[in-house]
A and B are shown apart, each in its own frame.
Chain A
Amino acid sequence: MTTSISPPDTVPEEKAAPHRMPFWVNQRLGLLVLVIALSVLFGVLRPAFLDQQLVLFPLLRDVATLTVVALAQMVALSVGHMNLAVGRMAAFGAMFAGLGYDRLGVPMQVGLLLCLAAGAAIGAVTGWLIARTGVSSFVVTLAMDFALLGLVSLLYSSLTDDAAFTTHPSGIDALRSYSLADICAGPICGSPAVPQIAQFTVLAMLALGFLYGCTRIGRELLLTGANPAAAELSGIPTGRRVLLAHTLSGLLAALAGFMAAAGTGTFRASIGDDFMLPSFLGAVLGGTLLTGGVVSVLGTLLGTALVGVIRKGLDLLGVGLESLNIYLGCVLLLALSADRIRTVVSYRKVVRST
Chain B
Amino acid sequence: MNRLNALRGQGSWGGEAVRRFSRSTAAMLLCVVVAGYVALGVASSGSFFEGPSVRVFLQYLATPILIGLAQMVALCVGQLNLAVGALGGFIACLMGVLMADHGMPAGVAVIVGLLTATAIGLATGVAIVGTQINGFIVTLATMTILLGAQYRLTGTRTVDGYSRTLRDFGTAAPLNIPLVFVTALVAAALLAAFMYRTVAGRRLLAAGGNPLAARLSGISTDRQIVAAHTLSGLLIGVAAVTATASLPGVNRSVGGDWLLPSFAAPIIGGVALTGGSIAVLGTVLAAFVTRLIDAARAQFSLDPSWVNLLIGLVVLGTVAGGRLHQTRLEKSATTDGAVLPQSGGAQ
Contacts and interface: CB of A to CB of B under 8 A. Distances in A.
Given A136-B347, A146-B311, A329-B144, A238 B341 contact: yes
B142 A329 contact: yes
A323 B147 CA distance: 9
B260 interface: yes
B100 interface: no
A322 B340 contact: no
B258 to A, nearest CB: 12
A229 B308 contact: no
B28 interface: no
Contacts of B263: 139, 142
Given A147-B308, A151-B309, A330-B141, A80 B320 contact: no
Interface string A319-340: 0111111111110110011001
Interface string B288-315: 0000000000000001111111111101
Interface string B128-148: 000111101110111111011
A57 B347 CA distance: 40
Contacts of A154: 303, 305-306, 309
A99 interface: no
A145 B260 contact: yes
A80 B137 contact: no
Interface residues of B, number: 57
Interface stretch (A102-110, A124-132, A180-188, A210-218): A124-132
- Dominant secondary structure at the B interface: helix
A333 B141 contact: yes
Interface in A100-153: 129-140, 142-153
Interface stretch (A8-16, A252-260, A284-292): A284-292
B145 A325 contact: yes
Contact of B341 (A134, A140, A277): A134
Given A80-B345, A140-B316, A144-B316, A150 B306 contact: yes
Nearest to B133: A336
B308 A337 contact: no
Contacts of B4: 131, 134, 238-239
Interface residues of A, number: 61
Interface in B65-98: 80
Contact of A322 (B143, B151, B320): B151
Interface string B1-19: 0101111000000000000
B127 interface: yes
Nearest to A80: B343
B343 A153 contact: no
A232 B143 CA distance: 36
B329 to A, nearest CB: 14
Interface in B118-169: 127, 131-134, 136-138, 140-145, 147-149, 151-152, 155
Contacts of A290: 134, 136-137, 345-346
A28 interface: no
Contacts, number: 184
Contacts of A140: 316, 319
A323 B144 CA distance: 10
A42 interface: no
Contact of A150 (B2, B267, B308): B308
Contacts of A225: 343
A73 to B, nearest CB: 12
A89 interface: no
B323 A133 contact: yes
A329 B273 CA distance: 26
Given A134-B341, A138-B346, A291-B343, A340 B131 contact: yes
B320 A135 contact: yes
Nearest to B140: A280
A332 B82 CA distance: 15
Interface of B: 2, 4-7, 80, 127, 131-134, 136-138, 140-145, 147-149, 151-152, 155, 259-260, 263-264, 267, 273, 303-313, 315-316, 319-320, 323-324, 340-347
**Nearest 9 A-B pairs (CB), nearest first?**
A147-B312, A150-B309, A325-B148, A150-B308, A329-B144, A329-B145, A153-B305, A322-B151, A326-B148
21 contacts: A129-B320, A131-B4, A135-B320, A135-B323, A139-B263, A139-B319, A140-B319, A143-B260, A143-B315, A147-B308, A147-B312, A150-B306, A154-B303, A154-B306, A238-B341, A284-B137, A291-B343, A325-B148, A326-B144, A328-B148, A333-B131
Interface of A: 79-82, 129-140, 142-154, 157, 225, 228-229, 231-233, 238-239, 242, 277, 280, 284, 290-292, 320-330, 332-333, 336-337, 340
